[in-house]
Amino acid sequence: MEETRPRACLASMDKFQTRIARTSEAALESGVVSPDDFRMEDGVYVHRPHEQGKIWEAAYTALKALLRRPETTAVVALVGVPGAGKSTWLSRNRQDGVVYFDATLASPRDRKRFLTVVRAARKDIEARAVFLDTPLEVCKSRNATRTEDRQVPEHVLDSMAARLSQTPPKPSEGWDAVVVVKQGVNFLELP
């Protein structure tokens, strides 16, 4: 049946598959998985709703591969609204043997899916959440300085911030530890 697909469609699929493979390879090399990285095409962030499911599937596949490595001792999910400072926090706090998953994970359902993937891949791994609880106005200000292709619509930021303020990550969700970062002050919430 593939012969009946238009050539442009096939070329687009090949480009997508190549992008997924390259991004997965980079994640395996760096130890950092970010679903957003799978959206980069020719140096530009592209958001295509029809690719969403495949992007998350690819991100979780890369995560599972990293978790299976014997040198991996922990996984840290960076949780927060876009512009909260997740990537900056990561650049200052990386540790050897730790895999990082950089995503908003705004709802308990999102975090449950993440933890299900982690526990299915490796039951003995320590799973931590680092919640960057940054004021929404700061996130919006940072978002405004991003390149146009990386800017998140304001109503989306509002929605994510509302979900996280109503249901922030908690040890009762299954985390071994939750670290909340507020305006440069860290405190640890143990289960």
Q: Output the 3-class SS for 34-100.
A: CHHHHHEECCEECCCHHHHHHHHHHHHHHHHHHHCCCCCCEEEEEECCCCCCHHHHHHHHCCCCEEE
pLDDT score at 9: 46
Cβ-proximal residues to 60 (8 Å cutoff; 6+ apart), any chain? 117
Q: Which of 171, 142, 39, 30 is nearest to 81 (CA)?
A: 142
pLDDT at 177 over 90: yes
With a pLDDT cut of 90, the percent of the chain lying above it is 68
Average pLDDT over the chain, rounded to whole? 88
pTM of the model: 0.85
Mean pLDDT, range 174-190, rounded to an integer? 75
Section 8-20 average pLDDT? 68
**How do residues 19-69 score in pLDDT, each as one tens digit?**
889 888 999 999 999 998 888 888 887 878 888 899 999 999 999 999 999
**Topology of domain 2-189, CATH:** Rossmann fold (3.40.50)
pLDDT in tens, 99-111: 999 999 999 999 9
pLDDT bin (cut points 50, 70, 90) of residue 183 is low
pLDDT for residue 20: 86
Domain limits, the chain: 2-189
